[in-house]
Amino acid sequence: MVIKNVNLETVCGITSTLPQNGLPEFAFAGKSNVGKSSLINGLMNRKSLARTSSSPGKTQTINYYNINNEMYFVDLPGYGYATANEKVKAQWGKLIEDYLHQSKKIRAVFLLVDIRHAPSENDRIMYDWILERGYQPIIIATKLDKIKRSQVAKQTKLICDTLEVVDGTIVIPYSSLNKQGREEIYGLLDSIMEKTDTGEDAAVRDTI
């Protein structure tokens, strides 16, 4: 995959109507401060188009990034922000639920978890939620550069065991520092797009 053009095309808040896009969509979900914006920036080869912050909870909207006029990266609100009030948490949850339920162009959902720790209860809820919507999440284990190479297999297994992932689930360790894992993600995106071009929508919806 070669990224030529990127554009933040649509921003949807709590009261917004979700767009009916004609291009395939790849959604990115994860708890606040898991490195979602850093991943999206890394995939887009941009330093700060997706806003990053040391303070979690900055992504409070659904952001649609047009990639090469061929697809969208859809940045979903970060969940599990502890200091947000319950009303705000509920609103963010509804945004994510509405998107997963209403969009007809989702081709894959990437679920980000921190490779250093066992997935949280919110991570498990989100994983099950995505499954219930008919998608098999691709797990991106972020912050790879924060652990030793010898720990990667153990931590990956911890993620899979805690989430109780279904057979065949793809888990990609990723580092925003050195972009390790990016080429593997690009390969998945290319593969899914090829299936989409040949009309295999059901295949890319339920499995890679």
Q: Using CB atoms within 10 Å of the CB of residue 194, give its burial: 0 to 12 exposed, 13 to 18 middle, 19+ buried.
A: exposed
pLDDT of residue 91: 64
pTM over 0.85: yes
Quick one: CA dihedral 113, 117, 121, 127, positive or negative? positive
pLDDT, tens only, 29-53: 999 889 999 999 999 998 878 765 4
pLDDT of residue 13: 84
pLDDT, tens only, 57-102: 455 789 999 999 999 999 998 887 655 556 655 666 788 888 999 9
pLDDT, tens only, 122-170: 999 999 989 999 999 999 999 999 999 999 999 999 999 999 999 999 9
What's the order of all strands across the beta sheet hosting 62-67? Answer: 6-12, 62-67, 71-75, 25-30, 106-114, 138-142, 171-173
